[in-house]
């Protein structure tokens, strides 16, 4: 029913939203840029449900939101460059891409299996209150269905995702209405990966010079197409496998399984695509490390999250 999921911001609704997040549910909330679709970034199943709700045909890495800059230190290697940007722009509409710590706190699916992680400390008081109450790292893409425009009001979110979220916290129209600027701060030179609410001139005031933009010629030539970079196993994949051949490991899905006794991970014994998505990247890493010459991948239905799972497996199966 229209309007049912939109709730006014009160102490009680913030507490209820935080509890919903801790139980793995999705909560939409305002930030200073656009409304975000929040999920517990440490919970792979919640992240899989988030991708399903967005209807994304592929797993794009998500921005992990924290209440305080100090919380980011546990998740990422904060470079001196990042420290300068944090001091100048956080809390605020700047997202930093950093090397991920090997702690496995964050679900592999949230970072799409990458060794980097995008982090942001938003300034909006409702986002701040929710992040403090949840006391968790929260993954939050813009709260729109894939291919739609980013939402700047609670009503926009309701129109796109009203039946898929536990709650939409109504903080009024978002002040900036434009997504955060995404900056790669893994090295010594900042590279803008996505232009956004922090202008390049603002960055230049802190950095002492205008940062490069990925894809433009002045960007680091050593790593073109940063945005296209995705995790892929070093071991070749063989898709649509119905038997396992000599030397292969098995990435299974559902049942019955082929006769086989070597390295195997079943993405979901019950054939649940949400569970399979949550397990995908960790499973690929496990089998990649198994020493097998190839990974045989059982067929996965091209439905729901199966589309994104198959997209990622097809990319990973192509020679680099």
Partner whose footprint covers residue 85, from Mg ion, ligand TXA, none (CB < 5 to 8 Å by kind):
none
Q: In a 3-state reduction of DSSP, which class is residue 167? A: strand
Partner whose footprint covers residue 33, from Mg ion, ligand TXA, none (CB < 5 to 8 Å by kind):
ligand TXA
Cβ atoms 278, 109 nearer than 8 A: yes
CA 135/CA 283 separation, integer angstroms? 28
- Taking residues 157 to 196 in sequence order and writing x for each that binds ligand TXA by CB under 6 A, - otherwise, the string is ----------------------xx-x----------xx--
Q: Using CB under 5 A, which of the segments 134-142, 240-248, 281-289, 299-307 binds Mg ion?
A: 134-142
Q: Using CB under 6 A, which of the segments 135-143, 241-249, 262-270, 286-294 binds ligand TXA?
A: 135-143
Q: Using CB under 5 A, which of 43, 142, 266, 310 touches Mg ion?
A: 142
- Interaction between residue 117 and ligand TXA (CB under 6 A): yes
Exposed/middle/buried for 97, CB within 10 Å: 0-12, 13-18, 19+?
A: buried
Beta bridge partners of 251: 265, 297
202 vs 68, 198, 206, CA distance in Å?
A: 22, 6, 7
Structure tokens at 115: 């060794």
Partner whose footprint covers residue 94, from ligand TXA, Mg ion, none (CB < 5 to 8 Å by kind):
none
CA 67/CA 40 separation, integer angstroms? 13
Q: Would you tell me which residues interact with ligand TXA (CB under 6 A)? A: 31, 33-34, 36, 60-63, 95, 97, 111, 114, 116-118, 120, 140-142, 179-180, 182, 193-194, 227
């Amino acid at each position: 029913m229209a309007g049912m999921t939109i709730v006014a911001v009160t102490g009680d609704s913030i507490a209820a939203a935080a509890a919903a997040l801790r139980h793995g549910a999705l909560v939409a909330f305002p930030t200073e840029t656009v409304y975000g679709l929040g999920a517990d970034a440490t919970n792979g199943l919640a992240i899989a449900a988030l991708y399903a709700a967005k209807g994304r045909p592929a797993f794009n890495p998500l921005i992990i939101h924290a209440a305080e800059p100090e919380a980011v230190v546990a998740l990422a290697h904060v470079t001196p460059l990042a420290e300068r940007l944090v001091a100048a722009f956080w809390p605020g509409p700047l997202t930093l891409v950093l090397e991920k710590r090997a702690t496995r706190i964050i679900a592999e699916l949230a970072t799409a299996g990458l060794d980097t992680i995008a982090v942001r400390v938003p300034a909006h008081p409702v986002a701040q209150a929710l992040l403090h109450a949840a006391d968790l790292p929260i993954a939050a893409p813009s709260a729109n269905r894939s291919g739609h425009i980013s939402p700047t009001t609670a009503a926009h979110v309701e129109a796109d995702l009203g039946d898929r979220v536990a709650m939409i916290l109504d903080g009024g129209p978002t002040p900036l209405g434009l997504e955060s600027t995404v900056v790669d701060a893994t090295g010594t030179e900042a590279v803008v990966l996505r232009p956004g609410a922090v202008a390049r001139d603002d960055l230049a005031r802190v950095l002492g010079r205008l940062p490069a933009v990925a894809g433009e010629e002045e960007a680091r030539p050593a790593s073109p197409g940063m945005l296209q970079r995705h995790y892929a196993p070093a071991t070749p994949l063989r898709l649509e496998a119905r038997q396992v051949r000599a030397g292969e490991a098995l990435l299974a899905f559902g049942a019955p399984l082929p006769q086989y006794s070597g390295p195997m991970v079943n993405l979901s014994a019950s054939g649940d695509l949400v569970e399979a998505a949550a397990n995908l990247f960790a499973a690929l890493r496990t089998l990649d490390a198994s020493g097998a010459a190839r990974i045989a991948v059982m067929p996965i239905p091209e439905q729901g999250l199966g589309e994104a799972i198959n997209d990622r497996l097809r990319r990973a199966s192509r020679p680099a």
